[in-house]
Chains A and B, each alone.
Chain A
Amino acid sequence: MFEKLVVSLVLAASLWSAPASAEEPSDAGARKAAQAFDADQLDGELFEFESTEGKVVVMSFWASWCAPCLQELPHLDRMATDYAEQGLIVLAVNTDGPETLSGVRSIVNRKKWTMPVLLDSEGAIANLYNPRGTNPFIVFVDRNGQIVSSHEGYAPGDEAEHEALIKRLLAE
């Protein structure tokens, strides 16, 4: 049994030699393909990931009870507007379960967000991109549909780094 555990840990440890930093997006060759999905939006419309082809996509996983999420999303909504013409799409992927889902609409209305709000109550999108199920969690996808980087958590100032990365991806 203990040998199995050691093998597992060695396999896991090999991952930690991975490259890339927050400031420098990974090389194009090292990027991972983003998986396509369909999801219901808060307004009832169907969102199809294929509709983002050729655009830079930012997915932000959030929940109504997550204070850092609610602090980060207004910055992302502002960027969605500022860089829309250059090809940016920001998706606010809501992960509220059925017990708190009813509070989502009032937040979106109150904040007057214009970015699409996707409902992922059962965790189908999180299963593809955010296997740890954390909030907030942000994923950056380039124009070729490749995942460039991801980031867990939010602290004031993160939005400046996110914006810098978005500008670089839009310029590619």
Chain B
Amino acid sequence: MRSLLVALLLLFASSAYAEDATLSATNTFTAEVRGDNQNGTEGDDDYTAVINRLTLKGVTGALSAGLRVDAFGFSPSPTPDFEDDVILERFELRFRQKPWTLVGGDFYQQLGRGIALSMRKEDQATIDTTLQGGLVELKTREHHAAVFGGRANPANLDEISQHFIEDTNDVMAGGLYDFTQLEAFDTGVYGVFITPTEKLLGERTKQHTEGIYVDLNGLTKHAALYLEVDLQHRELLGQSCSFFEEDCSGKAAYAALDLSFGDFSVLAEGITLEAFEQRGSRNTALNRSFEYNQPPTLERIDQEVSPMRDVQGARLKAEVTFLEQDLLFTVDGVYKEIEPDSPARVVLMHGFGGGEYSFQEGRSRLSASSGYRQEATDKATVKTMVHGEADYLQWLWSKLSLHLSARHESRTLEDDPFVRGSALLGVEWTGLGSLTFEFGYDTQNPSADVANEFYAGIATLELMDNLSARLVGGTQRGGLRCIAGVCRDYPAFSGVSGTLVARY
């Protein structure tokens, strides 16, 4: 509460007394009435939810301040996991005097390609954990250095399950130094130290990770290369072990090579993670540890990705364009071994390809892709998937366009076949909004009390430049969805949901 008062005082004092001060706000208000989603589980049906998120920013010269207040309530609360609260979720004071930046409060921090640390906001995957503490940063054309420290501060409302997440207060501190030479050669070193608050027997009590990277982003006109190596040491409660013992150490390496020759380009990536993890205390909404890193997955953003702890893999992607970049063809292949040295080793292969055509001066487009994915142990095939996707946007005239999108997956899970997919048909009117009909299906669970078909209507409205609304009514399929390497089990939706977004 003290931090709230300090932040508010500075924010509004600056607005009141400084001539050049401005205050801006973004507010997102959501109201939902949820019925029985027929997913075969109790505890997520028949309730009303009201969620509001208010972000305020004040700027005066070199000083800025920001805060975010989250308010949420549920009636009736389906389980004790749903809590009503009003929380000062974020606050930030920022002072910038080139080449220095000082931040006190909440900030996001990433090291390298996210293998060592990735504290960031990823709305698509509903990830939002900041570091609440202090940051001192120096940035010039050649040198970039920073030191930071604080506690992990996850957003307390899990937006998928709508369950409450307790703060972990895991402590972190670290730093980085990056040197750029001739704008083509960039190299950096960094380190981070983490102490989870939760102490469990056999689990780590503190861990430190160091890394180095080299980014050759302009050596030639046609090639770019990125290399990164990370080492980690963990101390376990009730055990002592040296740096080289397997239980206490982790290793990681990542490389990406981009080649581009006119209309043809190739991307090659490889990664190896050996007992590498950056786990914190338990996430009370998910009943598993927070993960403070997000390594490259080598996968398409929507794929079901296995935990990135013990993985070896590679990916090759090629693209070629025609008709002055209006026509694109892509092929992509991924090979990964999960827990490669374990009897439970899983081999993953995924190959897919497709094309995209833009026409009517880029106002219309047609894209389609398909592929095959398989995960198998030494003894059996665990999962297979044949998938196809299509997206067609046709500009009709003036401000009106038609949008058709469909995807289908024929899957097997331990030899049990099922299909899953969705189709959306919508009309969009620029400056006014859109109206979309969604049909979804999922036959994985054939139980009579579980829905297999889903129908929903979605309307978006641009009421004013600074006020927009989104309404959803009907049913939408849930299940495991993965975005950016983060997989979550979404509850199916049944009911009505309305969101208003205001900016001022």
- Looking at A52-60, A80-88, A149-157, the stretch in contact with chain B turns out to be A149-157
Asked if B26 contacts A4 (CB within 8 A), the reply is no
Contacts of A1 in B (CB 8 A): 73, 84-86
Of the 9-residue stretches B117-125, B157-165, B189-197, which lies at the interface with chain A? B117-125
Q: How far is the CB of A96 from chain B (nearest CB, A)?
A: 9
How far, in whole Å, are A161 and B503 apart by their CA atoms in the complex?
19
Instruction: Tell me if A156 and B52 are in contact (CB < 8 A).
Output: no
> Is there an interface contact between B118 and A97, defined as CB atoms closer than 8 Å?
yes
Check: B13 CB closer than 8 A to any chain A CB.
Answer: no
| Contact indicator A99/B295 (Cβ below 8 Å) | yes
Shortest beta-carbon contacts, A-B, top 8: A98-B114, A157-B430, A122-B110, A18-B504, A8-B71, A156-B363, A4-B86, A133-B123
Least CB distance, A76 to chain B, in whole angstroms: 11
Smallest CB-CB separation from A100: which chain B residue? Answer: B301
Q: List 22 A-B contacts (CB under 8 A).
A: A1-B85, A9-B29, A9-B50, A12-B29, A12-B54, A16-B502, A18-B464, A18-B502, A18-B503, A21-B465, A22-B462, A22-B464, A33-B20, A44-B217, A71-B362, A97-B484, A105-B217, A124-B107, A132-B501, A133-B121, A133-B123, A156-B363
Most chain A Cβ neighbours within 10 Å, of B395, B428, B434, B465: B465
List 4 additional contacts besides A71-B365, A98-B295, A122-B109; criterion CB under 8 Å.
A8-B69, A12-B54, A37-B96, A48-B98
Interface residues of A in 122-172 (CB under 8 A from B): 122-124, 126-128, 131-134, 146-147, 149-153, 155-158, 161
**A5 touching B325 by the CB < 8 A rule?**
no
User: B139 touches which one: A16, A43, A46, A128 (CB < 8 A)?
Assistant: A46
Interface residues of A in 90-130 (CB under 8 A from B): 97-103, 105-106, 109-112, 121-124, 126-128
The complex places the Cα of A125 from the Cα of B94 at a distance, in Å, of: 13
| Set A9, A99, A105: member contacting B296, Cβ < 8 A | A99
Contact indicator A157/B260 (Cβ below 8 Å): no
For A74, give the chain B residue with the smallest CB separation. Answer: B362
Cβ B110 vs Cβ A98 within 8 A: yes
Query: Contact partner of B267 among A4, A67, A102, CB < 8 A?
Result: A102
Known contacts A42-B217, A106-B260, A132-B123; A157/B296 CB under 8 A = no
Q: Is the CB of A152 within 8 A of B501?
A: yes
Q: A15-B502, A161-B430 are in contact. Are A156 and B393 (CB under 8 A)?
A: yes
**Cβ-defined contact, A106 with B398, below 8 A:** no
1/0 per residue, CB under 8 A from A, across B380-400: the answer is 000000000001010100110
B489 adjacent to chain A (CB < 8 Å): no
The smallest beta-carbon distance between B255 and chain A, in angstroms, is: 10
Question: Are A121's CB and B120's CB within 8 A?
Answer: yes
B140 at the interface (CB under 8 A from A): yes
In chain A, what residue has the closest Cβ to B62?
A36
Stretch at the interface among B179-187, B229-237, B244-252: B179-187
Q: Does B79 contact A (CB under 8 A)?
A: no
Contact of B25 among A15, A98, A105 (CB under 8 A): A15
Query: What residues of A have a CB within 8 angstroms of the CB of B183 in the complex?
Result: 43-45
* A75 x B362 contact (CB < 8 A): yes
A110 touches B265 (CB 8 A): yes
Say yes or no for B319: interface residue by CB 8 A criterion.
yes
The answer to whether A44 and B115 touch across the interface, beta carbons within 8 angstroms, is no
Q: Which residue of A lies closest to B465 (CB)?
A: A22
B27 smallest CB distance to A (angstroms): 4
Interface contact B431-A161, CB-CB below 8 Å: yes
Q: Are B73 and A2 in contact (CB under 8 A)?
A: yes
Instruction: Please name the residue on chain A nearest to B293 by beta carbon.
Output: A98
Complex-state Cα separation, A99 to B430, whole angstroms = 32
A8 cross-chain contacts in B, Cβ below 8 A: 52, 54, 69, 71, 86
Select which of A37, A48, A106, A121 is within 8 A of B265 by beta carbon.
A106
Q: Chain A interface (Cβ within 8 Å of chain B)?
A: 1-2, 4-5, 7-9, 11-12, 15-16, 18, 20-22, 31-33, 35-38, 42-46, 48, 50, 65, 67, 71, 74-75, 97-103, 105-106, 109-112, 121-124, 126-128, 131-134, 146-147, 149-153, 155-158, 161
Total contacts A-B at CB 8 Å = 232
Would you call A155 and B434 a contact (CB within 8 A)?
yes
CA distance A123 to B30 in the complex (A): 24
Determine if B59 and A32 form an interchain contact, defined as CB atoms under 8 angstroms apart: yes
Given the interface contacts A67-B367, A149-B465, A156-B393, does A97 sit within 8 Å of B120 by beta carbon? yes
CB distance from B337 to the nearest CB of A (A): 18
Note all chain B residues with C-beta closer than 8 A to A42.
217
- B256 close to A (CB within 8 Å): yes
CB <8 Å contact, A131 and B55: yes
The answer to the question of B141 belonging to the interface, with a C-beta cut-off of 8 Å to chain A, is yes
Residue among A21, A36, A150, A156 with the highest chain B CB neighbour number at 10 A? A156
B274 CB-CB contact with A under 8 Å: no
Contact check, B301 vs A157: say whether CB atoms are below 8 A apart.
Answer: no
Q: How far is it, in angstroms, between the C-alpha of A126 and the C-alpha of B119 when the chains are bound? A: 14
Give CA–CA (A51, B86) in the complex, Å. 41
Instruction: Kindly list chain A residues whose C-beta atoms are within 8 Å of the C-beta of B73.
Output: 1-2, 5
CB neighbours of B48 from chain A (8 A): none
Q: Which residues on B sit within 8 Å (CB–CB) of A123?
A: 108, 120-121
Evaluate contact between B108 and A124: CB separation under 8 angstroms: yes
Bound-state Cα–Cα, A105 to B465, Å: 32
CA distance A157 to B360 in the complex (A): 12
* Residues in B neighbouring A155, C-beta threshold 8 A: 399, 401, 428-430, 434
**Contacts of A31 on B, CB cut-off 8 Å?**
22
CB pair B399 A157 closer than 8 Å: yes
Closest to B68 in A: A131
Smallest CB separation, A125 vs chain B (Å): 11
Interface residues of B in 414-468 (CB under 8 A from A): 428-431, 434, 460, 462, 464-468
Q: B294 near A: Cβ within 8 Å?
A: yes
**CA separation between A43 and B216, bound complex, in Å?**
10
Which residues on the B side are within 8 Å of A105 (C-beta)?
217, 224, 258, 260, 267
**Chain A nearest CB, measured from B316 CB (Å):** 12
- B363 lies within 8 A of A110 (CB): no
Contact of B71 among A5, A67, A134, A153 (CB under 8 A): A5
Alpha-carbon distance A160/B283, docked complex (angstroms): 46
Give Cα A69–Cα B107 distance, bound, in whole angstroms. Answer: 26
